[in-house]
Chains A and B, each alone.
Chain A
Amino acid sequence: MEATREIYWNVGRGAIPPMYGFFAAAAGAMAYGFYKKLAVYRSGKALDRVSGPADRLARAVYWALAQLKVLRNPFPGLFHAGFFWGFLLLTAGTALIMVQEDFTVRLFGLRFLQGDFYRGYSLVLDLAGLAAILTLLVFFVRRFLYRPKGLETTADDCLAHALLFFILVTGFLIEGARMAVTELHANPELARFSPVGLLVAGLLPGSPAALEGLHKSLWWVHMFAAFGFIAFVPFGKLRHLFLIPVNYFFSDTGPLGGLKTLDLADENAQTFGAEKVNELSWKDIYDSDACVSCKRCQDECPAYATGKTLSPMKVIQDLRRSALAGPGTDIVAAVTDKALWACTTCRACQTTCPAAIEHVPKIVEMRRSMTLMKGEFAGEEGRAAIGSFEVNKNPFGLPNAGRADWAAGLSVRTLAEDPSADVLYFAGCYASFDRRNKAVAARFMEICSKAGVKVGMLGKEEQCCGEPARKLGNEYLYQELAGENIKTFGKYGVKKIVTACPHCRHTLGVHYRDLGFGGEVVHHTVFIKELIDSGRLKLKALPFEFTYHDSCYLSRYSGVTEEPRAVLAAAGGSLAEMERCGDNSFCCGGGGGRALLEEKEGTKISVERVKMARATGRPVVVSNCPFCLTMLEDGIKAADCEAALKARDLAEVVAERLA
């Protein structure tokens, strides 16, 4: 027997013209749905997210086909991927029929759905359908029976579930009915290649005539369901089928953690930041529509985990509702200032988002509007900190003239005293003024001098890098502070900077580029790693047990996760990882200017992180960020476990092991 099947068996070729008619109507409805959305997206401001289209396209196709983003979270990511691949193959299989019947047969008389290819085709599609049904069942159980915390279910979700399930089931019923009549007995050798269809065929009762009748009516029902699905895509959560892969195309190709640098000299600018929908970029609005409320961002959010108003998912959903309500809708009111001020800008939401939504820049943009347009603050302490930055160039309100006091008695000189240094140490505010972090800076100087590195500093010429002010929305103050620092770098011809703080590292190394500074900026961790690798620094490996806390601004903002682990291993450390580590780390609570603010809502983020560190059973948590060290020590005190856990900086551990 020949290995193929009669296409349009039983329904007849007369079904083709109406089928294409209905298909056109469904495709038209889909196009109309997306066309209506274009106007909503277009209410945002211009932003270039199309340059370098070839690379963008390649990335979008790769991320979508490989399901790279959803697989970051293996459950339910693997099931999503299973369903995606299954449904994709079914769609491709159906399209192949169209290609054969309406193109290759008509044009060249060519039939390719036969022989071994057809056998493979049958088997692959059958298994794809099975995978789709099974994964859909898992989704059903997860959503309706054992629903994880935070997963919201709407009528939209129910409809999508029902529609997909109906299409798959009717598909197998049609196949079973056809096989019961044409293959079950007539061509059992071929039927083996459609195992699910074979199973269904065996279960279907009735005479061939009855089966043909069932087949014919189900064929039309299945077709309407499938076309209904197509028409429905833009109007429900299934829109993500298109919007998310396209969002991969639009995603930011700039450096990690980039933020738009506002043009403050623009005399035509009426508004700064975003208070209304039309003050966002089109991409922000598009992002909000690409969200499927999968709540991965919410699961990762340290503010949400500690009972604060903020949920990154809710922020995006609030923006979506606002965008649909009209371009003048007040988004700050919709999201609420309480939620906006709660963000630590830790970027966990953005890193995990399978839709490539950019949460943090939106939050900063709204904070900019609150700060720059209305002079609002996150509490009195926020106002005081901003005032201190303005007058004293540090958040503590201490005289900046004392900025080099931490180095008293050390060999490090200011560039004003000796401009011939190998590298500039940008101590930052915490290492300059905070007692605990001053000690860390001194230990780092020991390391440098042991390695024969001549380090310079700026002393009282150094100002805050501007990062906390910027993340709190005060772009004006940030650019003032940054401008002064860049001028000073220029005065001494600074080419390479090593920082104590990952926030300084990211701001100087990434954000200052927009303001004209292009020098190399590394964090002390990376600098130490370079010294070890080049053989300039030798360590005695004294064994110790520890857990490591990844700073958000090193891991998620700068991609530095391996270096600290390698350095600490070289120092003799045995690491027990916390569950949240690497670029999945859990913030200490100090980012986004939050270190300068009181944490009044919910529980303390730092205490939550300390609990995670305690769970490893290790006596030491090593970090390498002044905010983290301060927050972790606060958390240890608040959790009353000072005897069981010590927080240390990587530089301190290394300095104790200089060979």
Chain B
Amino acid sequence: MKILVCIKQIPDMASKFKPNAAGSWFSEADLAFRMNEYDEYAVEEAVKLREKDPASELAVLSVGPARVVEALKKALAMGCDRAVHVPDEEAYRKDPWQIASIIAGYAKKGNFDIIFTGMQSQDRGSAQIGPLLAGMLGFSCVTTAIGFSLEGRTATAKRELEGGAKGVVKAALPAVITCQLGLNTPRYPTLPNIMKAKKKEIAVLNAAELSSEAALAGTEKFYAPVKKGTGLVLEGGDAAALAGKLIDVLKEKTTVLRG
């Protein structure tokens, strides 16, 4: 079994985002980065599958600037066998089509049976990479998996649907599975595994050689939402008085209590 997991490094979502000089994306100054949460579920699921079959091999791939090596190292420490870094200082300017094409350019030659990735990235949130990749490779695709098992060459995934409903999907390998919160609890890398990860291979591939696809869509502008009105904080006094004031405000200024 050959397994690939695709991850993205994203800024910590608690950060204060500011537009970059061109106003086309956020500035990376003063930001702290971490592995995309959904990709952590993907790595965990891939490692669990990898552990069931000692003969299998698990590669982790990331497209992005030099900093993404930190995320790759974490994935290696969690149990991936080897890493692939596709350096691209301007990855943020590429649209999902181009990123998926780069990954597909690599995956085509890799004979992978199954590819895991997050259902979306926390920063861009386009949720396109998985389905696009599956399309390009001709793989089956299951999105937003919150449960996963494999028997022979059939993957069974539980999916989260709108309104809390669940669905079960069976897909023949090769397949792309995109992972959602609830699938698993990502492990914390142990120190011996962090040490071992330092010796694992991180191959560096050239983005241009993997794909020369042009962008189909471009991000025009990045900006903070315009502040609409001001908030109001009710303070002091006892709880009953505060609740009374709150009801007055809701009656006067909103429609939630009418009807």
B188 touches A375 (CB 8 A): yes
The stretch of B9-17, B58-66, B96-104, B124-132 in contact with A is: B9-17
**Which one of A270, A376, A402 lies within 8 Å of B16 (CB-CB)?**
A402
Among A374, A376, A383, A399, find the residue whose CB has the most chain B CB atoms closer than 10 A: A399
Among A271, A375, A475, find the residue whose CB has the most chain B CB atoms closer than 10 A: A375
The stretch of A63-71, A85-93, A390-398, A530-538 in contact with B is: A390-398
A460 touches B30 (CB 8 A): yes
Interface of B, secondary structure class, is loop
B189 touches A401 (CB 8 A): no
B192 within 8 A of A: yes
A392 touches B32 (CB 8 A): yes
Could you say which residues of chain A place their CB within 8 Å of the CB of B34?
387, 390-391
B191 touches A401 (CB 8 A): no
> A384 to nearest B CB, angstroms?
12
B195 within 8 A of A: yes
Given known pairs A267-B195, A391-B12, A392-B14, the reply for A400 and B190 (CB within 8 Å) is no
**Which one of B30, B188, B190 lies within 8 Å of A399 (CB-CB)?**
B30
> A390 to nearest B CB, angstroms?
8
Given known pairs A392-B12, A397-B12, A398-B14, the reply for A270 and B192 (CB within 8 Å) is yes
Chain B residue at minimum C-beta to C-beta distance from A266: B195
B194 within 8 A of A: yes
Interface size on B, residues (CB 8 A): 17
Could you say which residues of chain A place their CB within 8 Å of the CB of B195?
264, 267
B222 within 8 A of A: no
B148 within 8 A of A: no
Alpha-carbon separation in the docked complex, A199 to B148 (Å): 88
> A267 to nearest B CB, angstroms?
7
B32 touches A375 (CB 8 A): no
A272 within 8 A of B: yes
Given known pairs A399-B30, A399-B32, the reply for A372 and B190 (CB within 8 Å) is yes
Interface of A, secondary structure class, is helix
A476 within 8 A of B: yes
Given known pairs A399-B14, A399-B15, the reply for A391 and B190 (CB within 8 Å) is no
Could you say which residues of chain B place their CB within 8 Å of the CB of A399?
12, 14-16, 30-32
Chain A residue at minimum C-beta to C-beta distance from B16: A399
B92 within 8 A of A: no
Per-position 1/0 for A383-426, Cβ under 8 A of B: 10011001111000111111000000000000000000000000
Alpha-carbon separation in the docked complex, A460 to B192 (Å): 31
> B78 to nearest A CB, angstroms?
9
Alpha-carbon separation in the docked complex, A390 to B71 (Å): 12
**Which one of A383, A391, A393, A401 lies within 8 Å of B188 (CB-CB)?**
A383
B187 within 8 A of A: yes
Alpha-carbon separation in the docked complex, A537 to B31 (Å): 40
Given contacts A375-B188, A476-B194, 6 further A-B contacts (CB under 8 A): A271-B192, A372-B190, A372-B191, A374-B190, A386-B188, A399-B14
CB pairs A–B below 8 angstroms (8 shown)? A264-B195, A373-B190, A376-B188, A386-B188, A398-B14, A399-B12, A402-B16, A476-B191
Lowest 6 A-B CB distances belong to which pairs? A375-B188, A401-B30, A372-B191, A391-B34, A399-B15, A391-B32
